[in-house]
Amino acid sequence: DIGRGGTQNNSKRLNEGANINRSLLALANCISALADISKRGGAASGTHVPYRDSKLTRLLKDSLGGECRTMMIANVSPASDQFDETLNTLKYADRAKRIKTKDASNRTKKVRSSMAPNVSLSQRGEAARVVARQRAAERSAAVQSENIKKAE
């Protein structure tokens, strides 16, 4: 019974690992399709983005191809035994950086213009904090983009 339980645990881990790899492959396919669309100049290129291939890509659909700013962090290792993984990560990140999304700045304007005079001060303060966080994220993305350009 003990040996059988260990086998069941290994089977569960293998199955879970296979599902994770399947989701990551689907994400890579979406990133490649979106990069291809950006390269060709928009959705009119006829390229299909396979968002429905996994739960992960369905969840990330708006983040990847929607009207938002998305940041991806590529974690690489200087260790020589991790060369293949690092190279694959850099290729993946290179495809992701080629994705161009629509400008999301219109959302900030909508937040400001929708504040009616009868909105409480605490609600206005929260909206101001949201706008400030969004601006900080935009500045951070711009700085990161400049750093990447300098590194190239």
- CA–CA gap between residue 12 and residue 73 (Å, rounded): 29
Domain spans in the chain, listed from the N-terminal domain onward: 1-104, 105-152
Indicate yes or no: pTM above 0.75: no
Residue 59 has pLDDT above 80, yes or no: yes
Instruction: Specify the range with the lowest mean pLDDT, choosing from 103-107, 108-112, 121-125, 141-145.
Output: 108-112
What is the per-residue pLDDT for 4? Answer: 61
What percent of the chain clears pLDDT 70, i.e. is strictly above it?
Answer: 76
Average pLDDT (55-62) is 90
Residues 1-104, CATH architecture: Up-down Bundle (1.20)
Average pLDDT (3-23) is 83
pLDDT in tens, 66-84: 777 788 888 999 999 999 9
Q: Which residues of 79-110 are buried (b: 16+ CB within 10 A; e: fewer)?
A: eeeeeeebeeeeebbebbeebebeeeeeeeee
